[in-house]
Structure 1
């Protein structure tokens, strides 16, 4: 079974949001630069993730995307399904017409494996995966390599907003 780039990139982008959740909304440009995923591809994926209510868009200065629900409530299988990816290792996409229009001899084996794979991915939440040893350190390392300083940028935006509000008062 091969998971397509839709599924892989969808999970990667959602992990990025989960890891940077405390920093506020994350722009697709930030994710694109840090994760090496084209911006136009991310726009397509996030349209689907938004339709499935996995992410929320935030408009305006300091805007971007954030998780629509806590990372503890979003599992990997939901993300893969949202980006139109099917976890299926059968040759016939579980239709039962594997070989000359009928089931092949090993169809049941592959169908059971598909079920177990879906069960496995359903049992892992973004929070569980993000909290695995070494994940946060790897994220920090990737952020530094890509010149990404979300927390610092977010703090600067908050200070700018506070300054503007104080000038209006």
Structure 2
């Protein structure tokens, strides 16, 4: 199972919003520059996040985007669900219509893999990622002194 560019960039976009959550809105232009991602590509990613009510948009000169809830209340799993859909390693985990599902030995393996992945992403919040990011940035600054 691979997370697409859309999912990876979506996490980075949401991380930028989490880091700046207390500071107000951010423009896509600023996020694109900070994250070194095409602004056009971010426009495609922000729309489903806004529709899913993970992000709020504001128009005008001071407009931009912000998280709709606290970074503590948004999991990476929610973001990936919106941008990627199911994180199942194989389709039959989500749709057990396979005639062999009752006898399939592999199915339990695929389910355990999905459960393990869901456990990680559903229990990782934007806040925890933002804290880790800020700690790493502080460590970089200290090593340059």
TM-score, normalised relative to structure 1:
0.71
Matched, 1:136 2:131: no
What's the offset of the Cα at 1:84?
3.8
Task: Report SS of the residue matched to 2:65.
Answer: strand
SS class of match (1:56): strand
Call closer, same or farther: CA 1:37–1:86 in 2, change over 3 Å: farther
Gaps of at least 5 residues in structure 2 are: 139-145
Q: Is the counterpart of residue 87 in structure 1 residue 87 in structure 2?
A: yes
* CA distance in structure 1 between the partners assigned to 2:108 and 2:82 by the alignment: 26
Cα contact 2:87–2:118 (8 A) shared by 1: yes
Q: TM-score, normalised by structure 2?
A: 0.82
Q: How far has the Cα of 1:36 moved from its partner?
A: 2.1
**Alignment correspondent of 1:38:** 38
Whether the aligned pair in 1 keeps the contact of 2:55 and 2:66 (CA below 8 Å) is yes
Deviations 1:64-105 (A, max 9, x none): 10010111110000011122432111265633478xx74554
CA RMSD of aligned residues (A): 2.3
Deviations 1:92-134 (A, max 9, x none): 5633478xx74554222012111221121111111111112xx
The alignment covers a number of residue pairs equal to 137
Deviation >6 Å, runs of 4+: none
- Partners of 2:21 and 2:67 within 8 A in 1: yes
| 3-state DSSP of counterpart to 2:57 | strand
SS in 2 for 1:106: helix
Aligned mates of 1:66, 1:139 — CA distance in 2: 22
**Equivalence for 1:122:** 122
- State how 1:24-103 maps to structure 2 within 5 Å: 24-90=24-90, 92=92, 94-96=94-96, 102-103=100-101
